[in-house]
Amino acid sequence: MTVFNHFGRYLLMIKGMFTKPENWRMYWKELMKQCSDIGIGSLGIVVVVALFIGAVSTLQTAYQLVSNLIPKSTIAQIVRDTVILEFAPTITCIVLAGVVGSKIASELGNMRVSEQIDALEIMGINTKAYLIMPKILASFLMIPILVIIAGVLGIWGGRMAGILSGILSPEEFEEGLLSGFQPFNVTFALAKAYTFAFIISSIPAYFGYFVQGGALEIGKASTTAVVTSCIMILFADYILAALLL
Amino acid sequence: MIEIRNLHKQFGEKVVIDDVSAVMEAGKANLIIGASGSGKTVFIKCLVGLFEPDGGEILYNGQNFTSMEDDQRKELRQQIGMLFQGSALFDSQTVEQNVMFPLDMFTRLSHSEKQKKVNEVLERVNLKDANKKFPAEISGGMKKRVGIARAIVLNPKYLFCDEPNSGLDPQTSLVIDKLIYEVTKEFNMTTVINTHDMNSVMEIGDHIIYMYQGIKEWEGSNKEIIYSKSQKLNDFIFASEFLKDVKAIRALEAEGKIQGNTPGLSK
């Protein structure tokens, strides 16, 4: 299949999700399950990644700012902006593409191969709406929250690393944190989070939903889904930066 | 009743179902038999709408399934139950939740009513003590029974079974066959079974269609099948030496040269 075939089938899959649910309560239940899987299930890795990225960015920024003419509070400013603009949304979402993306692709792939999707179709359920839509909606709900948590923890991790290593005092860090803050950066980070949330959920759903074959193909689909999602995240990252900054 | 008129399906240049017509009657076990690759699975998948046929018509009690709008199809599908080859149970749900799923999705019954219905159906398929188990914790035969329970929980008019005996030992196969046959009669369902198990053919084959390379080669009942003149069908059913011997004994019985009941096959 060519890229255009894939893209066309992907668009048809998205279009196919928009039908009236057979039973709102069951869709709501599925949405809550997906919110729990995607949100709570990924929280641990997001916390760890955010803390260390914040800490490392403080240490590396301090390493590069060797001039005495530059106040130490600048380190906090740089850490704040890089975490909010890039690290929290992009790095978190690349990690989530691996964690959430592979889970979505393998779950749907397994359902396809073991005929569970066919079983739902036979019952008269729109499987695109019932299986894919809740995953995309749950990603829209949970991934921006995870990005906000990553941003907050990233800055806190940077602060802790700065203080514990004696690079700068808590007062200097807070001074830098508050100076020249642009609220638009948060809006930009959230715009990225929503865009990446769609990529992370819909692309793996596509590769999982249309799997053909057996266990080997599920593994391949999962890998392709993660790789494609990561590339699309980086591509969208560039486009958004070019358009919005 | 399901009426199939001139069904045709091809993938690329390869014709998989070629101009097949048949009538599947209610209250009967309609078996589709044939060797691997003969088009049985594609045929049954066309009947339930998992594949779109390239030609022909499928009528469910006179309603043309092939030309139905999506909403009408959805409605009709609630009258269809299907048992899949691998059972297709939802891995993350218990036996009880699997059987309750169609009730949750399509009925407004209270939880206690649904629970009662699930217990009744599980009892009907002789599975009383497995409610809280997950599919990974039960045997292949039990999975098939859960699959049957899920398929009949909404009291469907049509039951489709895709190779219900695959992966089962002969004894369990007989239990599953018997169960499918009993529920077919009990609920007066139109049951279509796709199989290549000759035991099933002889035990429950009220109406049999033999498929050969996408063509309907022979049609009849289990009473007639071993007397068929179709060479292709004979090659298929008498592939084993044992069955060839049985056929030879039957011929001798018919000629009056020996007397007695041949074991293994019911006349």
pLDDT tens, position by position, B30-66 = 999 998 888 999 999 999 999 999 999 999 999 999 9
Residue with tokens 């609630």: B78
Q: Give chain A's mean pLDDT.
A: 95
Main-chain dihedrals φ then ψ at residue A164, nearest 5 degrees: -65, -35
The model's confidence at residue B115, banded by pLDDT at 50, 70 and 90, is: very high
More confidently predicted of B235 and A22 = A22
> What span, in angstroms and rounded, lies between the C-alpha atoms of A55 and A154?
7
Would you state the pLDDT for residue B224? 87
pLDDT in tens, A173-210: 999 999 999 999 999 999 999 999 999 999 999 999 99
- How close does chain A come to B185, measured CA to CA in Å? 22
* pLDDT(B266) > 80: no
Mean pLDDT of the A146-152 span: 97
Contacts of A119 in chain B (CB under 8 A): 82, 84, 88, 150
Q: Which of B77, B88, B105 sits opposite A116 (nearest CB)?
A: B88
Q: Looking at chain B from residue 109 to 168, which residues have their Cβ under 8 Å from any Cβ of chain A?
A: 150, 160
**Partner B contacted by A37 (CB < 8 A):** no
Confidence at residue B53, expressed as pLDDT on a 0 to 100 scale: 94
With a pLDDT cut of 70, the percent of chain B lying above it is 94
| CA-based nearest residue to B91, from A108, A21, A217 | A108
DSSP track, B101-115:
HHHHHH----HHHHH
Nearest CA in chain B to A125: B74
Contact B88 A118 (CB under 8 A): yes
Q: What's the rounded Cα separation, in Å, for the pair B155 and B143?
A: 19
Residues A79-84 have a mean pLDDT of 96
| Banded model confidence at residue B196, pLDDT cuts 50, 70, 90 | confident
How would DSSP label each residue in B35-63? -TTSSHHHHHHHHHTSS--SEEEEEETTE
Minimal-distance CA residue of chain A relative to B51: A118
**Separation CA A111–CA B88 (nearest Å):** 8
CB contact under 8 A, A122 and B77: yes
Confidence (pLDDT) at B264: 46
pLDDT of residue A203: 97
Neighbouring residues of A215: CB distance < 8 A, sequence distance ≥ 6: A113
- State yes or no: pLDDT of A70 exceeds 90: no
If one compares A218 and B233, the residue with the highest pLDDT of the two is A218
> What was the pLDDT predicted at B154?
93
Domain ranges of chain B: 2-229
Of A22, A26, A119, the CB nearest to B82: A119
In chain A, residues with a C-beta closer than 8 Å to the C-beta of B75 are: 124
Q: How close does chain A come to B204, measured CA to CA in Å?
A: 24
Q: What is the pLDDT of residue B144?
A: 92
Q: Nearest 5 degrees, angle CA A137-CA A138-CA A141?
A: 90
Over residues A38-49, the mean pLDDT reads 96
Question: Running DSSP on this structure, what letter comes out for residue B136?
Answer: G
Mutate to test the interface with A, among B50, B92, B105, B153 (most CBs of A within 10 A): B105
Q: Is B2-229 a domain of CATH 3.10.129.10?
A: no
Tokens of residue A84, six digits: 């909010």
Closest approach of A63 to chain B, Cα-based (Å) = 50
pLDDT > 90 fraction of chain B, expressed in percent and rounded:
60
Tokens of B19: 């101009």
Contact B84 A121 (CB under 8 A): no
pLDDT, averaged across chain B: 88
Judged by CB atoms closer than 8 Å, whether chains meet at A26 and B50 is answered as no
* Side chain identity at residue A22, one-letter code: E
Q: A15, A106, A122, A212: which to substitute to probe chain B, counting the most B Cβ within 10 Å?
A: A122
C-beta neighbour count of A40 within 10 angstroms: 10
Segment B75-100, tens digit of pLDDT: 899 899 999 988 899 999 999 999 99
Q: How far is Cα A142 from Cα A193, in angstroms, rounded to an integer?
A: 10
Interface of A with B in 105-124 (CB under 8 A): 110, 114-116, 118-119, 121-124
CA distance B150 to B192: 16
Over residues A83-106, the pLDDT tens digits come to 999 999 999 999 999 999 999 999
End-to-end CA distance of chain A: 37
Instruction: Look at residue A61 and tell me whether its pLDDT is greater than 60.
Output: yes
Distances (CA, A) of A200 to A132, A190, B71: 12, 15, 31
> Coil, strand, or helix at residue B91?
coil
Q: Give the distance, in angstroms, between the CA of residue A1 and the centroid of all CA atoms in the same chain.
A: 28
Residues 37-66 of B with CB under 8 A from A: 48-50
Task: Describe the strand order of the beta sheet including B215-220 as a list of residue ranges.
Answer: B80-83, B158-162, B190-195, B29-33, B207-212, B215-220
Under an 8 A CB cutoff, do A26 and B76 touch?
no
* Tokens standing for residue B260: 């007695």
Give all strands (DSSP E) within chain B, no chain letters: 2-11, 14-24, 29-33, 55-60, 63-64, 80-83, 158-162, 190-195, 207-212, 215-220
CA-nearest residue to B105 within chain A is A23
Give the whole-number percent of chain A exceeding pLDDT 90: 91
CB distance A122–B105 less than 8 Å? no
Mean pLDDT of B112-119: 95
Task: Report the pLDDT value the prediction gives residue A172, as an integer from 0 to 100.
Answer: 93
The tens digit of pLDDT for each residue in B213-223 reads 999 999 999 88
For residue A75, count other CB atoms closer than 10 A to its CB.
26
Q: Which of B23, B80, B29 is nearest to B185 (CA)?
A: B29
Which region among A178-192, B201-215, B223-237, B246-260 has the lowest average model confidence (pLDDT)? Answer: B246-260
Give B267's pLDDT tier (boundaries 50, 70, 90): very low
Determine the pLDDT at residue B166: 85
Task: Give the range among A57-61, B229-233, B239-243, B249-253 with minimum mean pLDDT.
Answer: B239-243
Mutation for A interface: B44, B46, B60, B74, most A CBs within 10 A: B74
At B265 the pLDDT is 47
